[in-house]
Amino acid sequence: MTPRNGRLAMIAAAVVAVGGAGAGMVMLDSHSGGAHLPPPTNVDLTAPAPISPPISAPTPSPVHTATPAPGTPKPVASASPAPAAPVAPAAKPAPPADAALVIKRILPIKGAIKYGKWYWDEAGAPPGQILITVDLQARVLSAWRGGYEIGTAAVLVGAPEKPTPTGIFPITQKQVKHFSNLYGEAPMPYMERLTSDGVTLHASEVLNGYASHGCVGMPLAFAKKLYGVTHLGDKVIITDGKQASMGDKLN
C-alpha cells in the first residue's frame, strides 16, 4: 500500500465485586432472675377476716362498631419494601476490533525513499497492534503500531522469475541468525518467516538494481529494529501498487 505522497504505507476490554462480606449479626440472650419477697409482718392470723359485701359484676357496656361509609376502601397493611439488590457498574464497551487497522499517522517523509535509506520514529505512537505492509511496485516496507507508522524503508523484492507473493501472511518464525537452506547457506539476519516455502523478511544489502528470490530484503539496522517490535502471528500485508492515505483501513 503506497501513500499518495509517493511512498508505501504499511497496511497492517472491570467487574467490580459488590460487598460480599455480609455484616455479622449477633443474637444476645438476656436472662431475667425472679426476686423472692419476704412474708408480711404484724399481721394477726387468728382474727376472722372481714366479709366484704358482694360485688356485683358490672354490666358490660355495649360495644358500638362503626360501619364504614359505602365506598370507603378497606385499610391495607403496607409491607416494607425489600432492599434492592446491589448493581455492578456497567462495563466499558470494548473498542471496535479493527480500530488499530485505520491509518492515524504517516511519517512526514518528503519524496521517495532511496535504496538503503530508512526512517524510524516511535514517538507519539501508543501501544497497539503491530502490522507490516509491503508494496512491490513502490518497493517500500512500513511498520505500523495501532495505526501509527513507526518505521519505513526502501526494500528489495523478488525478481520477475522469483516474485514475492502478494496477500496477508502471519509471521510464523523468527530467528536472529539464520542461513538459507535453499541458496548456499546465504546469511539471512533477523529472519521473520512468512511462508513454508522460504519467503521471509530479513536483512540484506539494499542497492538499486538488486532483487531477491522472493524474500523482502531490508537494511540491517532497520531489520533489527523491526525484529524488536514484531511478534509471532503479527500480519504482513503485501500489495502490488496499492495506495493509502490518512483514515484508510490497513486491510
β 130-135/235-239 pair status? parallel
How many angstroms from the chain centroid is the CA of residue 130?
Answer: 16
**Digits of tens for pLDDT over the chain (251 positions)?**
655 444 544 433 332 333 333 333 333 333 334 333 344 444 444 444 444 444 344 445 444 445 555 555 555 555 555 565 555 555 545 445 445 479 999 999 999 999 999 999 999 999 999 999 999 999 999 999 999 999 999 999 999 999 999 999 999 999 999 998 888 788 999 999 999 999 999 999 999 999 999 999 999 999 999 999 999 999 999 999 998 889 998 86
Q: Where are the domains of the chain?
A: 2-12+99-244
Three-state DSSP string of the chain: CEECCCCCCCCCCCCCCCCCCCCCCCCCCCCCCCCCCCCCCCCCCCCCCCCCCCCCCCCCCCCCCCCCCCCCCCCCCCCCCCCCCCCCCCCCCCCCCCHHHECCECCCCCCCCCCCCEEECCCCCCCCCEEEEEECCCCEEEEEECCEEEEEEECECECCCCCCCCEEEECCEEECCCECCCCCCCECCCEEECCCCCCEEEECCCCCCCCECCCEEECHHHHHHHHHHCCCCCEEEEECCCEECCCCECC
What pLDDT does 77 receive? 52
Contact (Cβ atoms closer than 8 angstroms) between residue 18 and residue 86:
yes
CATH superfamily of this structure's domain 2-12+99-244: L,D-transpeptidase catalytic domain-like (2.40.440.10)
What pLDDT does 70 receive? 58
What pLDDT does 23 receive? 38
What pLDDT does 12 receive? 34
What pLDDT does 27 receive? 36
Characterize 27-40 residue by residue with b for buried, 16 or more Cβ atoms within 10 angstroms of its Cβ, and e for exposed. eeeeeeeeeeeeee
pTM tops 0.85, yes or no: no
